[in-house]
Every structure is written in C-alpha cells, then in structure tokens.
C-alpha cells in the first residue's frame, strides 16, 4: 500500500477497522516482548532467589531507559503524523532527523552511566553482597548496550506511525524470539554456550534488542519511503526537538518517576524481607504483560488521533478514543478475572517457596484489581498527550506513577507493619487516579472540539 493510501485510510476508512489494523499487530508483538521478560525472570529464579531479587532491583533502572525511549518515540510519532496530516513534509523530515540525533545522545549517556554508576547504585540498595554483585553485572550490560532498545523502539514506532504495524510486529517479535532462545542457553550453559548466570540473561536481552533494531532499519529502508533517508541522518533542529520533547515529556517524566517510585517501594519492602522485593519484581513483570493490550492500542491510536486532529476531523478523533478506551477496559477486566483465579499456579512458574507463595498470593490478588482502572487512565493520558494537552497527562501520570503510589505504600506500611497488606496500595492508587482522569477527560474533550468545530463552521 502506498503512503498516500495509508494516510487516506487513517482519514476515511471506518475507525474500528483502522484501529484494529494499527493496533492488533502491536498488541501481539508487545505480548511477545512481555512474555520474554517473564520467561527471563522464570529462568533467573531457577538460579536462586537472590538472583531473582538482583534482577528485580534492576527493573526500575532498566525502566529509565524505557521511559526516555518511549517518551521520545511517543513525541516523534505524534509530531510526525501531525505534520504529515498538514502536508508539511519539510517539518516532518526535520522531526525525523532530530529524533535520530536525540537517540544517539541518550545512548552515549547510558554507556557512561553503565560504566561508572551501577556498582554504587546496587550497594546503596542492599547490603547482601551476592545480590549487589549479580545485580551490578546485569544492569551494567543492559545500560552499556541500551542503544539497541533505544533505536529499536524508534524504528518500530516509525513503522507504526506510517501504518506498517505488521512490519513493526515482526521487528519486535524477532528480538523477543532471540531472547527466548538464548536465555536458557546463556544462563545455564547449554551445549557450546558458557554458563553466565544473570549476565547471560542480560546478554540475551540486549542481543534481542539489537536484532530488532537492525530489522527495523531494514524494514523502514525498504518499505517506508517518507523516512527512508531522514532516519539515518543526524541533524538537530531546536524547534523539532522541543516539539518531540513537549509531547513526549509527560510519558518520559512519569515513567522516569515510576522508576524512582519502584526504587522507593523496594526500599520499603526491603525493610521486611528480600523475598518481598522478589515478589514485587514478579508483579512488575506480570503487570507489564497485562498492560500489553493497552500499550498496543496506545501505539495504534496515537497516529490516528494526531493525523485526524491535524486534518481537522474531530469526529474521528472522538470515535477513535471511545473505541480504544472501551476495548481496553473490557480486555483488562477479562485479565483481572483470569489472574484472580490462578495466583498459585503463576507463582509456581517462578520457583516460589513457601514464604514467596504466601506473600505473592496476597500480592497478585490485591494488585490485579488495579488493571482496568490503570489501563483506562493510561489511555486517557496518551490521548491528552497526542492532542496538545500534555499538562493533563502529566498530572494523571504524576498521581498514578509517583505521588499516590509512594504515599499509599508508606501509609499502609506504617499502619499494618506487614508486607502481606502493602499490595493494596496498588488498587488504591489506580482507583483514585481513574476518578481524576475521568474529571479531566470531560474538560479535555470540550477543549479539543471547540476550535475544530468553529473552524468547520
């Protein structure tokens, strides 16, 4: 399909068809990616509980890389699609070239952090030498080679933004399959491969990310004419950088704050036991898995919203939002019911002992209540970002990812003095944030429709 046909599809085809076409491949590929994160922890858990705890403590720091890359790619996706909808190819090209430069700068930054920061960071988190040593090795490898994930997400998002979601799915899935294959080979030393333990898990992860990035470059070069030449050229246009960061900043900041939040929560849980930290790590991986439908719908929804907003089609903006949010709420409710029924079976996959099973069962049954509320808040926040209301998105994400979450854990810890009941902080946070999101959504929808409706009149 030619590029003009794809843009016509976003402007004219039935909304439900466009949303499915843009989102479904992303959902599948995100599910695969989330699966390999879970499998990664399952294999590591078979080394020892300390190994699982070390990887769990690394998760907030890994999410800093994800926060920056997802924030920037959210920004470039929305800005590029908007300029394409307005017919401003010059601005669209400048946006792509600037994004390439931003990704390069961030990659160099994490090389430096990986070399100098990981050891002290782990020693600050735990006084268990075994955990600190394994964790520092794992995180160093992930940060030094973070360029694979950063550029991989960028090239995947370019494919999605131009309507090539299936190619993006293939790119992401290829990295996930690589990780799934090489995880056990490198962790346990199967066949000709050395037994590297947690370092093997890290090498499998970054290898998959680099492979996905390479495939993303190839697909964009062969099939994505509007970005073919610009995506490999570094240029820094200040106005384009500001546009990208303005749209992506709420995601970047709040996901970054989420890392700070998880770091703080791990400190609270660590005052009870290292097992509680390991359980938190399991929940974070499972939560990411459950949110994959929302992430897929988000990625599919952004270019549709941005293009039609730039094209002056508020009716399609409204329909896209309603359909995506409704579908997300239904999917999350189904996952909630499934996970409530089988917490013990899930924990068995992570080689859980008696103490981990006791704490983990309470954790999962409490935390999964949050899924529909958190997913809808996430969808509303993304819509606000894509449609020039980043301040609303910022408020939602600050409450959800940082302020309310830390406060809830701290208050419940002070009141109960038991790690078994701390997990109710998660649904408490998401329900309050959901209520705030719904109130802001009413104001947001009125604001985005007014200028467009008057212009059409």
> What pLDDT shows up at residue 219?
95
Distances (CA, A) of 184 to 38, 197, 266: 13, 9, 27
CB neighbours of 31 closer than 8 A, spacing ≥ 6? Answer: 289, 292
Element at 105 (helix H, strand E): helix 89-116
178: nearest Cα among 155, 142, 210: 210
> What pLDDT shows up at residue 87?
82
Pair 287, 109: CB distance under 8 Å? no
The per-residue pLDDT for range 403-423, each reduced to its tens digit, is: 999 999 999 999 998 888 899
Q: What is the residue-wise DSSP string for 175-187?
A: HHHHHHHHHHHHH
Compute the distance between CA of residue 295 and CA of residue 290 in angstroms, rounded to an integer.
10
Each domain of the chain, given as residue ranges in start order, spans 3-452
Compute the distance between CA of residue 162 and CA of residue 441 in angstroms, rounded to an integer.
27
- Whole-model pTM: value is 0.77
> What pLDDT shows up at residue 456?
40
Compute the distance between CA of residue 280 and CA of residue 278 in angstroms, rounded to an integer.
5
350: nearest Cα among 290, 289, 293, 286: 286
> What pLDDT shows up at residue 455?
38
Block mean pLDDT (10 aa), the chain, length 457:
59 75 75 75 92 91 89 88 83 93 96 95 90 95 96 89 81 88 95 96 95 95 88 90 87 78 92 92 89 82 79 79 89 92 90 90 95 92 78 85 93 90 95 94 74 41
313 φ/ψ angles, rounded to the nearest 5 degrees: -120, 75
> What pLDDT shows up at residue 155?
93
């Amino acid at each position: 399909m030619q590029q003009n046909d794809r843009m016509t599809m976003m402007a004219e085809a039935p909304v439900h068809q466009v949303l499915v076409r843009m989102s479904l491949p992303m959902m599948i590929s995100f599910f695969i990616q989330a699966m390999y994160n879970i499998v990664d922890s399952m294999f590591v858990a078979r080394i020892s509980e300390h190994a699982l705890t070390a990887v769990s403590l690394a998760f907030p720091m890994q999410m800093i890389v994800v926060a920056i890359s997802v924030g920037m790619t959210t920004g470039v996706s929305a800005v590029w699609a908007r300029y394409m909808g307005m017919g401003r190819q010059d601005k669209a090209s400048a946006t792509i070239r600037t994004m390439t430069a931003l990704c390069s700068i961030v990659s160099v930054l994490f090389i430096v952090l990986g070399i100098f920061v990981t050891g002290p960071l782990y020693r600050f988190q735990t006084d268990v030498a075994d955990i600190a040593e394994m964790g520092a090795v794992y995180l160093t490898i992930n940060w030094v080679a973070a360029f694979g994930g950063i550029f991989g997400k960028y090239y995947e998002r370019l494919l999605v933004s131009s309507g090539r979601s299936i190619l993006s799915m293939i790119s992401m899935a290829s990295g996930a399959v690589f990780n799934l294959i090489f995880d056990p080979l490198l962790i346990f030393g199967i066949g000709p491969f050395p037994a590297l333990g947690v370092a093997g898990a890290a090498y499998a992860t970054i290898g998959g990310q680099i492979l996905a990035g390479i495939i993303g470059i190839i697909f964009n070069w062969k099939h994505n004419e509007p970005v073919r030449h610009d995506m490999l050229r570094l240029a820094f246009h200040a106005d384009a950088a500001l546009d990208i960061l303005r749209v992506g900043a709420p995601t970047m900041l709040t996901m970054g704050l989420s890392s700070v939040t998880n770091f703080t929560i791990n400190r609270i849980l660590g005052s009870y036991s290292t097992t509680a930290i390991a359980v938190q790590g399991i929940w974070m991986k499972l939560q990411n898995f459950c949110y994959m439908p929302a992430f897929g719908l988000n990625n599919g929804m952004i270019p549709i919203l941005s293009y039609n907003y730039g094209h002056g089609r508020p009716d399609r903006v409204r329909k896209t939002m309603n359909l995506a949010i409704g579908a997300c709420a239904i999917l999350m409710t189904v996952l909630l019911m499934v996970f409530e029924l089988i917490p013990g079976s899930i924990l068995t996959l992570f080689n859980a002992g008696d103490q981990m099973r006791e704490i983990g069962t309470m954790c999962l049954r409490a935390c999964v209540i949050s899924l529909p509320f958190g997913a809808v808040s996430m969808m509303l926040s993304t819509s606000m970002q894509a449609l020039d209301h980043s301040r609303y998105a910022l408020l939602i994400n600050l409450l959800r990812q940082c302020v309310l979450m830390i406060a809830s854990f701290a208050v419940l810890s002070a009141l109960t003095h038991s790690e078994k009941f701390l997990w109710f902080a998660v649904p408490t946070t998401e329900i309050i944030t959901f209520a705030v999101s719904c109130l802001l959504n009413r104001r947001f929808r009125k604001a985005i429709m007014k200028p467009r409706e008057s212009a059409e009149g």
